[in-house]
Amino acid sequence: MPGRQLQMLNAIAAAANAATSVDSALQTTVDELCRHLGWPVGHAYLQQESTPPFLASARIWHLDDAARFASFRAESEQISFTAGVGMPGRVWQAHQPVWLGDLSADNNFLRSACAREAGLHAGFAFPVLTGGQVTAVLEFFAPVRTPPDEAMLELCSQIGAMLGRVFERQRLEHNLSELNRDLERRVAQRTIELTESRAALQDFLDNANDLIQSVDMEGRYRFVNRAWCETLGYTQEEAAALSMFDVIDPAWHEHCQTLFKELLKTARPLRMETVFRTKDGRPVQVEGNINLRHEAGRPDVTRGVFRDITQRKQTEQALQVSQARWKLAVTASKDGIWDWDMVGRQVYVSPQAKALIGYADDELRNGMDVWSELVHPEDRPRLARALKRHLRRETPVFECEHRMRAKDGGYRWILARGAALFDDRGRPQRMLGAFIDVTPRRLAEEQMIANLAREKELGEMKTRFVAMASHELRTPLATFSLAVDFFRQHWSRLQPVQVEENLQTIAAGVQQLRHVLDHLLLAGQDDEGQMRCHPAPLELTGFCRQLADEVKATHRAPHLIEWVFSRREWVVRLDPRLLRHILTNLLGNACKYSPGGGSVRCGVAEASGGIVLTVADEGIGIPPEDQLRLFDFFFRAGNVGGIPGTGLGLLVVQRCVAAHGGRIEFTSTPGAGTCFTVCLPQAQG
Ligand code: ATP
Ligand code: MG
């Protein structure tokens, strides 16, 4: 290779090596080749990636005279060449240099007119091959027709290959920088993500309520979150200057050191409880977990997450104290205590409560069902009502006095008092209360009520007695007094008839007094005394008829007393004395309380081996409101008016009936009459 060519090749090679871009390598090449050839025009095309691909001017020119070749340049830059079209297209298609010795003689040279005008007559072009592909085409033009120079074309092939490497290098550089850019983009993206996730983590840690810390092996704080700072009263900067033993309560140092050693030994996360001290010395009780992080195989930091449990501990302590107090109250009190967990549906009933109704603690299960089962059936609705009212918050305190069946089968009076605890929505959660045995008080009350009733009854009885006495005793006494006066004044002048009349009046008064006294004495006797029954054989029909006659005579009654016997001759075993009291009183009443006369119907019949006596009248009857008290001492119905009586006759009758083991009943309609029925079982033997 001649020296000039070599020189040119070296210059291009040096330029290609040093080229920072394909453009500068192409520019150097077109310049060097034009200079070497002494040709005025050199131009480079670049292959454009499109579909289909084409060659377009790279706008890299060597022009000896820019003005002279301006229109040639303009036309060249306008045309784009596809494969096989024009000189550049042919080079591209053949992958070979093309030499046109006479441009005007070539009919596939598209710019021949323009070239001619510029005084260009010959030209050649060669490809730049990169990896076997045409990436650029360089063309050169001479002012004279010039035959092909094979050596030159050979040289251009080498130059094309050399430039191809520049392209290759540029492509690699481009790819590399693309990769770099991509990498940078991804790094930037990752950095943003990392920053964001760090911010999110920081935010997360700072918004945590727990105290989060990271402590290095020297015990210095590497990280503390906001909750840590706020709870302990330090700033982040102050925390960074602290040792963990500045924060842990001195009483807990040893414990924490032991835990720390264990953590180093086992490297397993640990659960711990300790006490921190705030900057102003306040204790903060915490519980949490600590773990160990290794860096390059060596322990680096401990990380801890703690929860402030000061409040909880205080509550627990308060609870313990109150539970101890409660226990003390339960055991010390002789009253029973109950605790009903309405959510967990459990009941606690203290041993003392069970003892109130005679049970040992283990003899009665703690269950609502067991307890309510023991409540007296009559008291259950009242208890349920009181409970319901309290649970509806209608009463501040639940209170109910009710009976409970004791172990011995008897009933004890229990005062149940309690109060419910409600949640925010007003639903009852729990009820606490006490059982108090009020049986003695209740019995005393009952006794008192009975005494009062008795006293009242006695008072009333006294009033009735006084009323009776003033009438039934005064009347005969007044009669006697009048008779005495009469006899005193008229004794000497009295006719026997008058004496007889007065003596009869006195006898009637005596009879009345006897009647009163008899009744008083009979009513004053107790059942065990004179009222004992002594049965004896007795002919019933005759006995009854005779008594009826006596009654009629005594009462001077105009009544018609009719008898109906279910048997004719009838011997029974009854106590004649007691039967006399029964019949004279019932018949006497029937006559007395039928002031207008009328008939009294009496019946004697057999029933269930006994005797049934009935005495029915058509008299004034008994007002319903008085019927219940008819057998009380001195009681007389409100409608008796002036009819005399002690109010003791029926009481005597009742006692006589009872002495026989029988029973007495009556029905009565005011104004229509009364019917008494006496059933007497017959004595055997
Ligand atoms: P006593 O019997 O001592 O003469 P008494 O008739 O008033 O007095 P009870 O025989 O005990 O007393 O009767 C009590 C009361 O019952 C009477 O006062 C009267 O009000 C009423 N009573 C009793 N029997 C009759 C009757 N057949 N018809 C209407 N009321 C009667
Ligand atoms: Mg009577």
* pLDDT score of 371: 86
Domain boundary among 411, 437, 463: 437
Based on the fold, state whether residues 363 and 276 are members of the same structural domain: no
If you measure from the C-alpha of residue 340 to the centroid of ligand 2, how many angstroms do you get, rounded to a whole number? Answer: 63
Same domain? 561 vs 508: no
- pLDDT attached to residue 212: 93
Does 388 lie in the same domain as 334? yes
394 and 450 housed in the same domain: no
Name, in order, each residue with C-beta under 8 angstroms of 97's C-beta and a sequence gap of 6 or more.
Answer: 91, 124, 125, 126, 127, 153, 156, 157, 160
Domain co-membership, 122 together with 148: yes
User: Where is the domain boundary, 516, 548, 579?
Assistant: 516
The residue whose C-alpha atom lies closest to atom 15 belonging to ligand 1 is 636
Q: Kindly report, residue by residue over 298-330, the tens digit of the pLDDT.
A: 998 999 999 999 888 888 888 888 777 777 776
Given this model, what pLDDT does residue 529 score? 57
The ligand that comes nearest to the alpha carbon of residue 670 is 1
Query: Do 556 and 667 fall within a single domain?
Result: yes
Residue among 593, 634, 665 whose CB has most ligand 1 atoms within 8 A, to mutate = 593
Q: How many domains does the chain have?
A: 5
Cis check: omega of the bond before 2, within 30 degrees of 0: no
Largest CA distance in the chain: 216
Establish if 190 belongs to a structural domain. no
- The answer to whether residue 532 sits within a structural domain is yes
**Which ligand lies nearest to the CA atom of residue 617 in the structure?**
1
CA distance 421 to 428: 6
Structural domain contains residue 192: no
Q: Which of 291, 308, 325 is the last residue of a domain?
A: 308
Task: From the CA of 516, give the closest atom in ligand 1.
Answer: 3
- Centre of ligand 2 from the C-alpha of residue 519, in Å: 10
Q: What are phi and psi for residue 534, nearest 5 degrees?
A: -125, 90
Amino acid found at 392: R
Query: Coil, helix or strand for 506?
Result: helix
As given in the structure block, the two tokens for residue 290 are: 């600590």
The predicted pLDDT at position 436 comes to 92
Q: How far is the CA of 449 from the centre of ligand 1 (A)?
A: 29
The verdict on 150 and 241 lying in the same domain is no
* Residues 500, 460 share a domain: yes
Give the strand pairing for 599-607 and 560-565: parallel
Same domain, 396 and 461: no
* Pocket around ligand 1 at a 6 A CB cut-off: 519, 585, 589-590, 593, 617, 619-622, 630, 636-637, 640, 645-651, 674
Nearest Cα residue to atom 17 of ligand 1: 636
| Residue 557: inside a domain | yes
Residue 206 lies in a domain: no
Instruction: Report, as ranges of residue numbers, the positions in the chain whose pLDDT lies below 70.
Output: 1-2, 330, 332, 526-530, 683-685
CATH code (residue 161): 3.30.450.40
Q: Where are the alpha helices (DSSP H) in 525-603?
A: 540-555, 576-592
- The predicted structure's pLDDT at residue 498: 87
17 occurs within a structural domain? yes
CATH number of the domain where residue 302 is located = 3.30.450.20
Which atom, in ligand 1's list, is nearest to the CA of 651?
11
Same domain? For 8 and 135 the reply is yes
Cis peptide before 428 (omega within 30 of 0): no
Most ligand 1 atoms within 8 A of CB, residue of 511, 518, 582, 589 to mutate: 589
Ligand nearest to the CA of 523: 1
Q: Dig out the tokens for 418 from the structure.
A: 């309690």
Residues 595 and 673 in one domain: yes
Task: Give me the CATH number covering residue 636.
Answer: 3.30.565.10
Structure tokens at 97: 């240099």
Domain that holds residue 217: 211-308
127 occurs within a structural domain = yes
> Which pair of structure tokens corresponds to residue 301?
């930091």
- Please name the helix (run of DSSP H) or strand (run of DSSP E) that holds residue 317, with its range, or none: helix 310-332
C-alpha of residue 643 to centroid of ligand 2, in Å: 10
Is the residue at 186 inside a domain?
Answer: no
The model scores a pTM over 0.75: no
Per-residue tokens: 535: 């049965």
Same domain, 337 and 431: yes
